[in-house]
Structure 1
Amino acid sequence: MSAALTDLLREWMPHQRWFGGKGREWADVTEEGFLLDQAHPVLSVHRVRVTYSDGASETYLVPLSWRDHPAEELSSAFIGPVQSADRETYAYDAMRDRDATCPWLIHLVNASTIGPMHFHPAGVTYIPEGLPGDILSTEQSNTSLVYGQEAIFKLFRRLEPGLNPDVEIHDALRKTENPHIAPLLGHIEIDDPDPSVEPATVAMLQTFVPNASDGWRLATASVRDLYAEGDLHADEVGGDFAADSERLGAATASVHADMAKVLPTEPADPAWFAALAAQMAARLEAAIGVVGQLAEYAEGLRAIYAAVADSAEDVIRQRVHGDLHLGQVLRTATGWIVLDFEGEPARPLAARRELDSPMRDVAGMLRSFDYAARHMLVEQPEDPQRAYRAQEWAERNRTAFCAGYSAASGTEACGDSPLLRAFEADKAVYECVYEARNRPHWLIIPLQSLARLTAVG
């Protein structure tokens, strides 16, 4: 079966949203699997190792459900038929097969070990055993199932040795009872074939947050309300978002403070500032090779990074979110919830677990406010009134977020900080490369931000 299955996976995986090797040439693919549940349908779990022509490799987790007959209602999840010695069976993406989603929670409740896979409940009293899971269709690098109104299960598709930061941070924050996170209910690990290598995190289960609103959607709805009122300022529109932005700043500061209580911290030294500036400068040089328009701002950006190298700011390094933006937060009836502490999935796991400045997260959210304000301008880039109103909305909400963060943290979060400015600039450079490759018509958004950042001071 193995050869037939790897052929199917070679054809199927490049079309999945979570597959990170799109466009790269495959040199080889291997898989090894084991049975997780032998009821109907049979559920198996496979580690699929893809080796690329440049010698790099990645390992992905692929759960499959197996049926004796084709299931028309699962046509969108169909991977292909596999012929064994005496019969043909039909493989499906198990995360899209509701009948195959119950075993994950059953094994968590029982703290099972199945083959190389270990299930670790978080010591909570209730996991919704017996409910089927419904897939979320909005994710990119992972796959999540929602179990009723009770729990959300996130499968980490790309496997790396070590504890995933999302699990590590949520587990540490459990003891703080921070109101701005969704509590961890459990996680799953898988042993590496090499016993000298750390296990990889496979999945995590959290409390589901029902009746919550996505921060990006709320913010962009506010921008649309502003655009619809041609003669009103941002603070006069019914959909003004500034109060929410201020509360989000306070929530972010609360999470940072609790992370510093339960996870390691250390003062930043001159070597850290110098290394950070060098990394930013190197990313800029690489980005200029992809986005030629960046050359116009290169001198100003190098000056921003040089200011970081010489910085004497009092910075305590700690664990941070690492990829904070409006799409990573939910507003509920009682406040904001911060999600997805795994950092940027494209970065190596070890890099995502390094100590950093909380200002990286603040900068990420400030960039997100710029995006929310300006994303509708890409269709009308020459409309000066809309451009003015977008700038007004962005400034109002950036200021509100900083006010909330500063009040809750007792620090001047968004003052004249060379480090914050550099984090913003570095993020905008990254955005330029991303937009040039994926949404060229959006490139104007980070370029305009770089024009503003490099014009200051």
Structure 2
Amino acid sequence: MTPMAEALTPSGTTGTTGHLLASLQPLLREWLPRQRWFAGKGRPVTGFTPLAATELLPCEGRLGLYHLLLRVHQPPVLGAPPHPGDCYQLLIGVREALPPRLAPALIGHVTRGPLAGRTVYEALYDPRPAEVLLEALRTQARIGGLRFERDRRQEIRDGLVARLMTAEQSNSSIVYGDTFILKLLRRVVPGVNPDLELPLALARAGCARVPAPTAWLHAELDAQSYALAVLQPFVSGASDGWELALRELAKGEDFVAEARALGRATAEVHSALAQALPTVTLGQAQLRLLVDGMTERLEAAVQAVPALRPYESGLRSAFTALAGLAAEGRTWTAQRIHGDLHLGQCLRPPSGPWSLIDFEGEPARPLAERRLPQPAVRDIAGMLRSFDYAALSASPPAPQWAHGCRAAYCSGYADVTGRDPRTDPVLLRAYETDKAIYEVVYEARHRPDWLPVPLSAVRRLSLPDQEARS
């Protein structure tokens, strides 16, 4: 591989980047909003500002490859403060014509500018550009503002065949053979990304529950660093926890042993993070801010989803109870956590222990917020809600299945830490309530057919009697 070490001058109107972007703009306006990972759906794209454009393969040959960091401009959300626009990472392939196998990757045919007469496409569908990325990581390339880094203690073999994983969420992933998986972050912000920071910290702490990063890509732009991609060992043949749980449900099998093992895995990760990174004590002032945030989210949710109104008072009591304990002088420890833990973030190989993946946190949250220490019970609440989702998505629904999994998961957590999360019911209820309220809003907006699942939890969590909630 001989990538051109050329960072095209960031300019929206002049220079090479300006001409390149002008030729791509009409196509990207149509293509971007159709992508699963594009966060600004429902609002038109009004323009782009390039942060960086880097030519990874020269376009003089049969195949060209551009790496772009583009700020995308859209009308503001009604009632929201002005926003400069989200920045997205794009890998644009260039060919004279696309072979049939790449038809799903088509972005469009360029009619003007330096790429006139060429076809541009989503390069990650194409093994050759994907191999360029792996080779750059292997050789620790420096290309323009792009910095390809690696852990030299881990070998990266060449010749690994690349394939794009099609079941994507907010990012994109490429698997190389059965050896590595490269996660490319799509919506990027400057700063330390926990999806790299936390696995590196866990690797240093010797925690084997999280695949240790092998290599990573970041960009240095205007004295700011953007995390762009992380390469980790691929857990071959693994099922994620959601798939595995649904299979067991379909067979009428319980999931208790797996749930307990998953509780132990979660506790091991939390313990390692608490040892590797600073912890803090949350007193009355910090808990007041936490409760205020939960209460504000409840109030906004009730306005957005009227089905919540009958339960508002009961749900609010979950937060006032927590505030009451804080006022009495109760404190809690906060630490770095996963931040978005659910069954789909856990991998179980055919033989071997559970692994936890995807430490990015909730992508919609500001990066600074995602990096704040938080009570570990927030992760636990997310997993408990995930058991409910699995059980209530089954046909017929199996609430007792979820009850057994929830109990086993908490018991497994206690096996490692000596602390059962159920012995702190007020904090656990507050976080599970906050999560269920978030789910109600999400489902009402995106998947109305799923709304009964979190509403079932809302009814349970709004009850004042702990036994009725368990």
Taking structure 1 as reference, are residues 24 and 447 closer, same or farther at Cα in structure 2, changes over 3 Å only? same
1:27 aligned residue: 46
Say which SS state the counterpart of residue 183 (structure 2) adopts. Answer: strand
| Count, aligned residues | 432
Q: Which residue of 2 aligns with 1:185?
A: 214
Check whether the contact 2:291–2:319 (CA below 8 A) recurs between aligned residues: yes
- What is the identity percentage for the equivalent residue pairs of Structure 1 and Structure 2? 41
Change (3 A) 1:454 1:113: same
- Number of the residue aligned with 1:405: 413
Inter-partner Cα distance in structure 2 for 1:87 and 1:7: 13
Q: Say whether 1:281 aligns with 2:295.
A: yes
For residues 51 and 326 of structure 1, what CA distance do their matches in structure 2 show? 34
Task: Mark the CA change 1:116 to 1:408 in structure 2 (over 3 Å): closer, same or farther.
Answer: same
Give the counterpart of 1:44 among 46, 66, 75: 66
What is the 5 A alignment of 1:86-235? 88-192=117-221, 194-195=222-223, 198-226=224-252
Per-residue deviation, 1:87: 5.5
Structure 2: distance between partners of 1:309 and 1:370: 27
Where do 4+ consecutive residues of structure 1 move more than 4 Å? none
Structure 2: gaps (5+ residues):
1-19, 77-81, 466-470
Contact 1:18-1:142 at 8 Å conserved across structures: yes
**Contact 2:283–2:331, Cα closer than 8 Å, also in 1:** no
Aligned AA (2:192): L
How far does residue 288 in structure 1 lie from its aligned partner after superposition?
0.7
Residue number in structure 1 paired with 2:377:
359
Contact 1:162 / 1:200 at 8 angstroms: preserved in 2? yes
1:315 corresponds to which of 300, 320, 332: 332
Deviation of 1:40 (Å): 5.0
CA 1:412–1:7 in 2, change beyond 3 Å: closer, same or farther? same
Query: Displacement, 1:416?
Result: 4.2
Alpha carbon RMSD of aligned pairs, Å?
A: 1.6
Report the Cα distance in structure 1 between the residues aligned to 2:262 and 2:62, rounded to whole angstroms.
45
Given candidates 290, 304, 319, the residue that maps to 2:304 is 290
Partner of 2:11: none
Alpha-carbon separation, structure 1, partners of 2:307 and 2:159: 55
How far did 1:174 drift?
A: 0.9
Rounded Cα–Cα distance in structure 2 between residues aligned with 1:3 and 1:27:
13
Q: Distance in 2 between matches of 1:453 and 1:393?
A: 18
How far apart are 1:84 and its partner, in Å? 3.8
Distance between the aligned counterparts of 1:251 and 1:129, measured in 2?
A: 33
What is the CA-CA distance between 1:86 and the residue it aligns to? 8.8
How far 1:70 moved relative to its partner?
Answer: 3.2
Q: Which runs of 5+ in 1 are unaligned?
A: 227-238, 378-385
CA distance in 2: counterparts of 1:133 and 1:218, whole angstroms: 26
Secondary structure of the 1:162 match is: coil
1:232 is matched with none
Q: TM-score, normalised by structure 2?
A: 0.89
**1:323 partner amino acid:** D
| 1:306 alignment partner, one of 305, 320, 325 | 320
Instruction: Check 1:440–1:125 CA distance in 2 against 1; reply closer, same or farther (3 A cut).
Output: closer
Matched AA of 1:60: Y
Q: CA deviation at 1:314?
A: 4.3
Specify the alignment match of 2:286 in structure 1.
272
Distance in 2, matches of 1:354 and 1:91, equals 40
Q: What pairs with 1:6-85 in structure 2 (closer than 5 Å)?
A: 6-31=25-50, 32-38=52-58, 41-54=63-76, 55-56=82-83, 57-82=85-110, 83-84=112-113
CA distance in 2, matches of 1:73, 1:440: 35
Deviation at 1:34, TM superposition (A): 1.5
Look up the equivalent residue of 1:122 and give its one-letter code: D
d(CA) in 2 for partners of 1:213, 1:70: 33
For residues 72-115 of structure 1, the C-alpha deviation after alignment (integer angstroms, 9 at most, x for no partner) is: 32111111122346952221111111111111111112211101
Determine the C-alpha separation between the residues in 1 that align with 2:32 and 2:55. Answer: 20
